[in-house]
Amino acid sequence: MSRLSGKFVLVALFAMFLFLVTACGETSESSSSNEEPTEETPSSEETADEEEEVSVDFPKSPINLNVGFAAGGGTDVLARAMVELAQPYIPNNQNIVVVNQPGAGGVLALGEIMNQTPDGYNIVISPSGPMTLTPHFGDTPYKDLEGFTPIINLTTDSYFLAVNGSSDIDSFDDLVEFAKENQLDFGTAGARGVSTVAMQSIAMELGVDFIEVPFEGNAPARAALMGDHVDAVHSVESDLLPYLESGELKPILYFGFEKHPNFPDVPSVTDLGFPAFTNSFFVTGPKDLPTDIRDVIHDIFKAAMEDPAAEETFEKIMATPDYRDADGLGELLQSKFDVNKEVVEASGLAEE
């Protein structure tokens, strides 16, 4: 083979190599180009989910927000404040209507919600006690949390033990001495709730008698104290703070983990070696509430909590915001349920 023909063969081979490389590259690019739309195009399942999300048309009529206590109490005040904040965020220009169903320390409203159709039009706002504590006394239509769908947690606060502003009782020591010499009647928002356990655990520890007088909510319990029909009241701080600050009522003991910032001279239960008690206020619905409807309700109240006027509103009603989504609320309630079961069993209160 001549030198020239040899060069020709080399050139031809090189050209063929370039052709093959280019062809492969184009094939790869073409393949990639064809695959990209496939990656960006959602699957039929994802499309169906998105269409379902978009298609939920809720609410089409007013939503009933049930309150298990009388009008004017802490839960009722929080409910009405949240409804006012939530109004701009309710789809279809609908409304949320507060419905008071006082009875059995909040248990009545929770029991009623269990029997409602899970369509989102009947929900309940409640403190955690009636759901996570009262069942351990065995007198509730629900024995666990399975009958409910957690939606959103709104606030968490604690309790005060207070007496009338004109009372001769000025301290916790005074109150204990009074209880030793007299029968100390204390009002609560309902029987066998957090107030029951909190007060009776102290009474058993000190060997004194505290006689519970249950009412249908914090407001009537507070009114009874102001009318001198009971010696003291154990109630959530959001309900009592305005009256404590005005001097109409007198704080004796705070049930939080630390002293209350507004009353640094009032001892907390932990200062005296007793357990602290907190109460979470939340919104829940009946079992099997569809997730998309649950999420709409959650988003309404979450938007209300984030509204520019929310901070001032919470300060006005003296509530401490504590947002938790549905999953977080479910975990919180289950934890409280389990702890309260241990407390009640250890105290022997369930046997009374």
Alpha helices, H only, the chain: 3-40, 44-55, 74-86, 107-114, 128-132, 172-181, 194-206, 218-226, 237-246, 291-306, 310-316, 326-347
Residues 149 and 181 occupy one common structural domain: no
Q: Is the torsion defined by CA of 316, 317, 319, 322 positive or negative? A: negative
Q: Which is it for strands 184-188 and 148-157: parallel, antiparallel or unpaired?
A: unpaired
DSSP codes joined into one string, 221-262: HHHHHHTTSSSEEEEEHHHHHHHHHHTSEEEEEE-SSS--TT
Residues 130 and 197 occupy one common structural domain: no
Residues 245 and 288 occupy one common structural domain: no
| Domain contains 250 | yes
Q: Reply yes or no: is the peptide bond before residue 42 cis, omega within 30 of 0.
A: no
How many domains does the chain divide into?
2
| Domain contains 48 | no
CATH of the domain at 304: 3.40.190.150
Q: Which is it for strands 184-188 and 210-214: parallel, antiparallel or unpaired?
A: parallel
Beta bridge partners of 187: 213, 233
**pLDDT range class, residue 55, cuts 50, 70, 90:** low
Is the pLDDT assigned to residue 29 strictly greater than 60? Answer: no
Q: How far apart are the first and last CA of the chain?
A: 114
| Domain contains 82 | yes
The reported pLDDT for the residue numbered 352 is 62
By three-state DSSP, how is residue 64 classified? strand
- Mean per-residue pLDDT, 26-40: 39
Is the pLDDT assigned to residue 65 strictly greater than 80? Answer: yes
CA distance linking residue 228 with residue 222, whole number of Å:
10
Is the pLDDT assigned to residue 24 strictly greater than 60? Answer: no
Residues 240 and 225 occupy one common structural domain: yes
Mean pLDDT in the chain? 86
Q: Is the torsion defined by CA of 268, 269, 271, 275 positive or negative? A: negative
Out of 38-42, 68-72, 200-204, 260-264, pick the least confident: 38-42
Calculate the alpha carbon distances from 42 to 34, 174, 283, 291 in Å.
15, 71, 34, 21
- Final residue belonging to a domain, choices 246, 272, 298: 272
- Mean per-residue pLDDT, 6-25: 36
Residues 312 and 291 occupy one common structural domain: yes
Residues whose CB is less than 8 angstroms from the CB of residue 73 and which lie 6 or more positions away in sequence, other chains included: 189, 217, 218, 219, 220, 222, 239
| Domain contains 39 | no
| Domain contains 42 | no
Q: What percent of the chain has pLDDT over 90?
A: 72
| Domain contains 97 | yes
- Final residue belonging to a domain, choices 244, 272, 300: 272
- Final residue belonging to a domain, choices 221, 244, 272: 272
Residues 71 and 118 occupy one common structural domain: yes
Residues 208 and 219 occupy one common structural domain: yes
CATH of the domain at 175: 3.40.190.10
**pLDDT range class, residue 351, cuts 50, 70, 90:** low
Q: What percent of the chain has pLDDT over 70?
A: 84
**DSSP 8-state symbol, 268:** B
The reported pLDDT for the residue numbered 342 is 87
Residues 268 and 169 occupy one common structural domain: yes
Residues 266 and 311 occupy one common structural domain: no
| Domain contains 146 | yes
Residues 164 and 246 occupy one common structural domain: yes
Residues 282 and 150 occupy one common structural domain: yes
The whole domain housing 246 covers: 159-272
| Domain contains 16 | no
**In one letter, which amino acid is 141?**
P
Residues 149 and 195 occupy one common structural domain: no
